[in-house]
Amino acid sequence: MSNGVANHFELTNESDKIKKAKNLKSKIIFEKLNSIGINNNSQLENLSLSLLGITEFGFINNSIRKKCWVYLLTHQMDRMRKEDDELINVETNNLPHKDEDQVRLDTDRSFGYIKDSILKNRLKRILYDIIIGTLKRNPQLNYYQGYHDVASIFVMIYYEDIVKNKYKKQINEMILILEIFTLMYLRDFMMDSLDFTIDQLKIVTQILMKMNKKFVNKLKLDKQEPFYMISSVLTIYSHHFKPKINQKYQDESNLIYEIFDMVICSQSMILPLIIYSKFLLNNKNLLLKEYETNLEHFDNINDLIHASIQNAIVRSFQYTEKNRDHLKQWYTILNEIRFSFINNKIKIPSLKGQINKYSPLLTTATNYNLKHFQFKTYDEVDLKSLMNKGIKLNKIRQNMDERQTKKLYRQQNYPFLLKILDDQYMNLSPLIKISVCIAILALCIKYSDQSSNGFILKIYHNMLFQNILPKMKVRLTSSLK
């Protein structure tokens, strides 16, 4: 038998094995979904369904995937309203969201890979509706460019129903799961500044330092602002990887779906950062060569680093005759991370003091190995409280330098000064508490060094005068009557 025939035979056998493996896994997932219904939200059943989504091939196809995503996400956030309550009707609600114009611009550019113009316009309209529906339910959040890429994945898992024009009853379901995903995983990205986002992206460099310090030092990655990661991480790679469409058929085993399966099932926003770290290391020789070759052509080293990394990413997901197996390294990275997650081999730096304490990385999306993995459910009130606390902290965070920021992130929820002011900590009259507060502030001014003095006063001034004293004014007024 010739080598060509042998290779073809082996490839066919491998393909058959993969098909059999996928068919078997799909049956297991269906059985799991049925058993979950019988066992009424068993913690063990929830965990086992999550593990099926983390492992190879994810949830196999979108018929299964949408059921699993709806189940898992609606059990990750316990809604205040009953599941059959009507969500915002985006067609009749006249209250505008401040970002609607930008959402319209971005959704109008979406689904460029769909050739059918009628279908494309239908998808754009649905995408716009579910984004606006989510934002109107959470008007404190800020839309960011790239969020439409994320939301498009939640549209495409309903693609078969949309093609058949049987989707209208599912719009609320799409809004629901997009909202939960947003609150669980994307809060840092939806502030009115990039501060929390950049803090999170810097974790990639710290992960790389644990993997290959020499590589980091050579490219001076620890000296760069990580703007080159934004389009990848903020969209969870949905800006790069699009579902493959052939007329009315889509490739449901597409890479991007498996990435989202992994994030949702692991309840982790750390894994997208690890994916990026692995990609850089996989391409370190190429990046180093491009860096050294073009060093003399760039006045700004930052621009050279950014250009080199972006070129590597673009090449990795573009199909060419010379690069037919263009996505192989991404599937390899995913499988390596799956193996490391299940075998507890992923190591990450300490995140405390590096990112804000309300970040998904420290609260709702923290998992990075199986050893400590638990299926966690969060109350909607608690999630929105985390969101609002993050927004307040982001206001304080703005205009601070790196040293001040780390000090801010290390502050406890109730610094000593605020504990004095809060009734639950000290049973003193409001007048005495205010007097003690003024005395402590005076000591801060007198004894703090000049560089940290402004930082201390800024934190206490904001937290004191914006949060505590307005409440105390009411109590003091009522006590003096």
Confidence at residue 92, expressed as pLDDT on a 0 to 100 scale: 42
- Residues 353 and 379: their CA atoms lie apart, in Å, by 26
- Residues 177 and 187: their CA atoms lie apart, in Å, by 15
- Residues 450 and 25: their CA atoms lie apart, in Å, by 63
Assess whether pLDDT exceeds 80 at residue 468: no
Compare 452 and 146 and report the one with higher pLDDT: 146
Instruction: Map residue 379 onto helix, strand or coil.
Output: strand
Instruction: Identify the weakest region by mean pLDDT among 127-136, 160-169, 377-386.
Output: 160-169
Output the average pLDDT for the chain.
82
CA distances from 86 to 66, 90, 162 (A): 20, 11, 20
Contacts of 194 (CB under 8 A, 6+ apart): none
Q: Work out the pLDDT band at 39, boundaries 50, 70, 90.
A: low
Instruction: Identify the weakest region by mean pLDDT among 81-95, 181-195, 318-332, 450-464.
Output: 450-464
Compare 129 and 427 and report the one with higher pLDDT: 129
Q: Which among 8-17, 165-174, 471-480 has the top mean pLDDT?
A: 165-174
- Residues 199 and 204: their CA atoms lie apart, in Å, by 10
Mean of pLDDT values over 105-129: 95
Q: Work out the pLDDT band at 79, boundaries 50, 70, 90.
A: confident
Radius of gyration of the chain, Cα coordinates, nearest whole angstrom: 25
Q: For 191, list phi and psi in degrees, rounded to 5.
A: -85, 180
- Residue 245 has a CB neighbour count (10 Å cut-off) of 18
Sign of CA dihedral 438, 440, 444, 447: positive
Pick from 276, 278, 266, 277: which is nearest to 365 by CA? Answer: 266
Q: Which among 232-241, 306-315, 367-376, 401-410 has the top mean pLDDT?
A: 232-241
Instruction: Identify the weakest region by mean pLDDT among 12-21, 41-50, 139-148, 294-303.
Output: 12-21
Render 19-70 in DSSP notation, one character per residue.
HHHHHHHHHHHHHHHHHHHHHTS-HHHHHHHHHHHHSTTTTSSHHHHHHHHH
Contacts of 416 (CB under 8 A, 6+ apart): none
> Do 359 and 196 contact (CB within 8 A), yes or no?
yes
Confidence at residue 40, expressed as pLDDT on a 0 to 100 scale: 62
Q: What is the pLDDT of residues 287-298, one digit of tens each?
A: 999 999 988 888
Render 237-271 in DSSP notation, one character per residue.
TTTT----EETTEE-TT-HHHHHHHHHHHHTBSSH
Instruction: Provide the 8-state DSSP code for 411.
Output: S
Q: What percent of the chain has pLDDT over 70?
A: 74
Q: What is the pLDDT of residues 253-287, one digit of tens each?
A: 589 999 999 999 999 999 999 999 999 999 999 99
Q: What is the pLDDT of residues 308-329, one digit of tens each?
A: 998 888 888 776 555 557 788 9
Compare 250 and 330 and report the one with higher pLDDT: 330
> Do 60 and 26 contact (CB within 8 A), yes or no?
yes
Confidence at residue 252, expressed as pLDDT on a 0 to 100 scale: 59
Q: Work out the pLDDT band at 18, boundaries 50, 70, 90.
A: confident
What element of type H or E holds 78?
A: strand 77-78
Mean of pLDDT values over 64-80: 91
Q: What is the pLDDT of residues 214-260, one digit of tens each?
A: 999 999 999 888 999 999 999 999 999 988 775 555 565 589 999 99
Residue 250 β-bridge partners: 245
Confidence at residue 181, expressed as pLDDT on a 0 to 100 scale: 98
Confidence at residue 295, expressed as pLDDT on a 0 to 100 scale: 87
Confidence at residue 284, expressed as pLDDT on a 0 to 100 scale: 94
Q: Work out the pLDDT band at 445, boundaries 50, 70, 90.
A: low
- Residues 477 and 481: their CA atoms lie apart, in Å, by 7
> Do 130 and 178 contact (CB within 8 A), yes or no?
yes
Mean of pLDDT values over 85-112: 79
Q: Which among 84-98, 182-196, 251-265 has the top mean pLDDT?
A: 182-196
> Do 280 and 208 contact (CB within 8 A), yes or no?
yes
Confidence at residue 152, expressed as pLDDT on a 0 to 100 scale: 97
CA distances from 334 to 59, 61, 314, 370, 407 (A): 14, 17, 18, 16, 35
Mean of pLDDT values over 465-480: 52
Pick from 358, 216, 356, 373: which is nearest to 287 by CA? Answer: 216
Compare 12 and 361 and report the one with higher pLDDT: 361
Confidence at residue 184, expressed as pLDDT on a 0 to 100 scale: 98
Mean of pLDDT values over 411-431: 50
Assess whether pLDDT exceeds 50 at residue 392: yes
Q: For 69, list phi and psi in degrees, rounded to 5.
A: -65, -45
Residue 355 β-bridge partners: 352
